[in-house]
Amino acid sequence: MAAERTSLSHLEERDPEGPERDAETLPAARPAERMRELLPAIEPERRLNDWGRSERIEGIFDQTLVEFFYRYWFRVEVEGIENVPSDGGALLVSNHSGALPPDAAMIAKAIREEHSRPRPLYLTVEHFFKGYPGFSMLVPKIGGVAAHPANVHRLLFDERQLVLVFPEGRKGTEKLYKDRYRLRRFGRGGFVEAAMRAEAKLVPLCVVGAEEAQPVFAQSGLMQRLTGLIYFPITPTFPWLGPAGMLSYLPAKFRIRFLEPIDTVELGGAEAVHDKALVQTVSQEIRARIQENLHEMVAKRKSVWFG
């Protein structure tokens, strides 16, 4: 996205509203908003959308596995669902844990079940998944989108969708059981920049329970290299039970708390994106709020299994 061609200049740079253009034909909206109106129309006959998301496959998962885990296994409890905006783009920022993290699916399900106006949630994933056979087919079908800044911007700004991001990224899923509920570094604040550029709301949220659902005791560097996976965790069931071991979670009680949203327009919106100090401050603040709430939730919890 960075380097721009100077020679083949575009509308927005040169001559967008050139002298020969008739003033009446100029719409009032800004070019970027005008571009939003040019998004492809939805073709109702299609079962997939342009991101490769499949309502059918998602529905199958939703009614079986996800339903079972959400209702009976993790017995998810949700707080502050009203903090998820009903319209407009919003970036949900969460803590992350677990070998094959169940948190994303539970957050998406929580919005579907509890929100007054449920919307699909897009989950940003590592580029790794697009290159690994099997994952490459499945991940986009259930709402995974590669964590490319351009993808996040299109989802938030142009399509006004809900996007979930784990700023800890791999560092979050790699962390071991002994480090549970200790947030890792939040990258370089790229997620704040993305939300500001898209003038989308930032919604921090905390998940308690995922750390105990699939405790990771160790990481095997050798096996990671041999299998080509992004990491190779040792859990109570993996790799002993094979790939199925990845899906065997302990029945920890899940709590999801959505915190009050941050309006990036008030922070200065797209113009303030280059203010690195501001971006870092917001990123730190979100991290601190999530950490604080996690501590509070863990402190209040009487039992890992029964809440």
Using rule CB under 8 A, residue 144 touches other proteins: no
Using rule CB under 8 A, residue 23 touches other proteins: no
What is the contact mask toward other proteins in residues 45 to 74, using x (rule: CB under 8 A)? xxxx-xxx----------------------
Closest by CA position to 287, among listed 131, 166, 180: 166
Using rule CB under 8 A, residue 33 touches other proteins: no
Using rule CB under 8 A, residue 24 touches other proteins: no
Provide the 8-state DSSP code for 37.
Answer: T
Helices then strands, each counted (H, E), the chain: 12, 10
- Applying CB under 8 A, among 17, 271, 292, 296 the residue interacting with other proteins is 17
Q: Which residues fall within 8 angstroms of residue 264, CB to CB, at 6 or more apart?
A: 192, 195, 196, 198, 199, 200, 201, 202
- Applying CB under 8 A, among 23, 37, 87, 116 the residue interacting with other proteins is 37
Residue 225's identity, in one-letter code, is R
Instruction: Give the pair of three-digit tokens for residue 38.
Output: 């040019």
Using rule CB under 8 A, residue 39 touches other proteins: yes
Please say which residue, 48 or 223, places its beta carbon nearer to other proteins. Answer: 48
Taking the complex as a whole, how short is the minimal distance between the CB of residue 29 and other proteins, in angstroms?
A: 10
**Alpha carbon distance 201, 257 (integer Å):** 17
- Applying CB under 8 A, among 68, 71, 150, 217 the residue interacting with other proteins is 150
Please say which residue, 46 or 295, places its beta carbon nearer to other proteins. Answer: 46
Taking the complex as a whole, how short is the minimal distance between the CB of residue 163 and other proteins, in angstroms?
A: 13
Taking the complex as a whole, how short is the minimal distance between the CB of residue 70 and other proteins, in angstroms?
A: 27
- Applying CB under 8 A, among 59, 64, 137, 243 the residue interacting with other proteins is 137
Using rule CB under 8 A, residue 30 touches other proteins: no
- Applying CB under 8 A, among 98, 101, 102, 140 the residue interacting with other proteins is 140
Tally of CA atoms within 13 A in the half-sphere of 137 that contains its CB: 3
**Alpha carbon distance 214, 100 (integer Å):** 8
Cis preceding linkage at 243, omega within 30:
no
Provide the 8-state DSSP code for 12.
Answer: T
Strands 144-146 and 233-234: unpaired
**Alpha carbon distance 93, 156 (integer Å):** 13
The residue ranges that bind other proteins (CB under 8 A) are 1, 3-11, 14-18, 20-21, 25-27, 31, 34-35, 37-41, 43, 45-48, 50-52, 127-128, 130-137, 140-141, 145-146, 148, 150-151, 154
